[in-house]
Structures are given as C-alpha cells and as structure tokens.
Chains A and B, each alone.
Chain A
Amino acid sequence: MGKLTIGCFSSLVGSLSLDFAVKLSEAAVKKGHKVDLWLSGNAVMLSKKGQKAFRDYSYVQKTVDELIKAGNLQVTACEACAEARGYHKEDTMEGCKRFSMDWYLASCFDADRVLLIGGD
C-alpha cells in the first residue's frame, strides 16, 4: 500500500473541491493507503471545531473525524493561514494538527503520489 499526500487551498464551503479532497482521502484509506491531507489558505477551516451540518452546505467534519480516528488519515493545517483567519490553536478539531508550510513539503518527500488542489 502507498502514501498519498493531498494539499488543498480551496474554501471549506462553496466549490466542493475540499469535499473532493476528503472523499478521495476516504477512498484511499478504505483501500489501505495512508493519506496526509494538508490544508492551506481558505481550506484551513476544515480543521476548525464546531462546524454545523446544514443540507445547503458541505459538511465533511464527521467524515474527517472518523477517518482520523481510524488511523490512516493525518490532517494538518497551515498555522499562519489559520491565524490570519482568526482561527487559533484552541479552535482546532481533535486529531488535527497545525504546522508551517515546510511540513507539507516534508510530507511530499516520501509520498508515492502528490496532488495539489489549488485555491477557489
């Protein structure tokens, strides 16, 4: 089995691009692969606590939470991008981490496959 590193800059709600990242992560984990999901720019909000489920809006927090607890998904948010958005360490979902951008490159270093989903 392999390692997939996904970087995502896309907004939490709106474009479904971050939903794609989560669903691809889920599919990869189900097949026994390891996934690192790096969140930067507007995507950092995925790792913020307290998201509410409304049918009109994307809600992926539950899926992310389950995948993290199952063990093969690591979600890491860019600390600077988070702080710039008023999202602090104590606001972070359990199991999600925060690091600087070099963490993403380190994850890519030993990944079998890397996919960056740009900002929208």
Chain B
Amino acid sequence: MATTKMGFIIRSLPYKTEASRLALTHAIASQSVEIYLADGDLVEAELFFIGDGVLNCLKKQEAMKHYGNTSIAMHLENALLLDLKVLICKEDVEKFGLAEDMLVMDAESLGGETKAAIVPFSEIQKAMEAVNHLQMC
C-alpha cells in the first residue's frame, strides 16, 4: 500500500489559458484514480495558489452566466468538498489587496468541511518539498 502525493502549483491567471482549470480538474480526478491502482494504493493531490494564480480563488466568478463555462471558483469549491488540501499564498493575496472574505475558502454551501488556508510562501515551499511530484500550471 503506497500513497503518491502530487502538488499542483497554480500560478496562471484563469480563462485566457486552460492551465488553472486543467490543474483543478486533474487534481479532483485523484478521487477516482484507485480504479487503475492496486488495492490500498492512492494518489493524493494538493493545490497551491501563488503569484497571479491567487486570482483564481476570487468568489463570484460569473463565467457560467456569460460564457456557459463552469467557473474556476466552482472547481475550487468541488476540490474543497472532496477534502483536497488548498493553500493560498498570503504575500500574493496581500499584494493584490485581497481579503479572505473575497476568496473561496470553503465548500460549506455544498456540505463540505475542509477549508483552504492562506499561508506564507514559506509554508507553500515546505509543502512542495513534502510531495512526491510537482505540477506547475
């Protein structure tokens, strides 16, 4: 029985490229990976938002209303609902003048319990060191 940990580092802005959307959907896919693995083997995905990537976490994204696309915020809520670890860089949140109540921090509206955490980059660096593989998006 083994667990492989994947750290998805999201630094891209949303919507102009698919990078952040695909990072989230791939991370969420960790929930069904067992069908390919031996019993007890797992892949755990963690999400780290840094740089411009923190803007993926804004609430009230209306991509569905205007473009018929699931918003990145909706994907992030799903990730939290599925108990994925989500870290958001504190220095970048502050750089953009954002406050915690402007960001998707939980999936309570969907019945989820896991919360995202706004942490210093040094914590994200540690988390990067702790995973087996990194995925920069």
Contact = CB atoms under 8 A, between A and B. Distances in A.
The reply, when asked whether chain A contacts chain B directly with Cβ atoms under 8 A, is: yes
Interface of A: 7, 9, 40-42, 100-106, 108-111, 113-114, 116, 118-120
Given A102-B33, A103-B36, A108-B43, A41 B133 contact: no
Interface of B: 2, 4, 6, 12, 17-19, 22-23, 25-26, 29-33, 35-37, 41, 43, 45, 133-137
Chain A contact surface mostly: mixed
A105 B84 CA distance: 15
Given A102-B32, A105-B6, A108-B6, A118 B17 contact: yes
Nearest to B4: A109
Nearest to B135: A116
Contacts of B17: 9, 118-120
Contacts of B136: 116, 118
13 contacts: A9-B18, A9-B19, A101-B26, A103-B36, A105-B29, A105-B30, A109-B33, A109-B36, A109-B41, A116-B137, A118-B17, A118-B136, A119-B17
Given A102-B29, A104-B29, A105-B30, A119 B22 contact: yes
A101 B23 CA distance: 10
Contacts, number: 74
Contacts of A108: 4, 6, 43, 133
A87 to B, nearest CB: 15
B41 A100 contact: no
Contact of B135 (A100, A110, A113, A114): A114
B43 A105 contact: yes
Nearest to B29: A101
Contacts of B135: 7, 114, 116
A75 B25 CA distance: 20
A102 B36 contact: yes
Contacts of A113: 133
B12 A118 contact: yes
B19 A118 contact: yes
A104 B35 CA distance: 12
A105 B4 CA distance: 9
A98 to B, nearest CB: 14
Contacts of B33: 102, 105-106, 109
B34 to A, nearest CB: 8
Contact of B22 (A9, A102, A110): A9
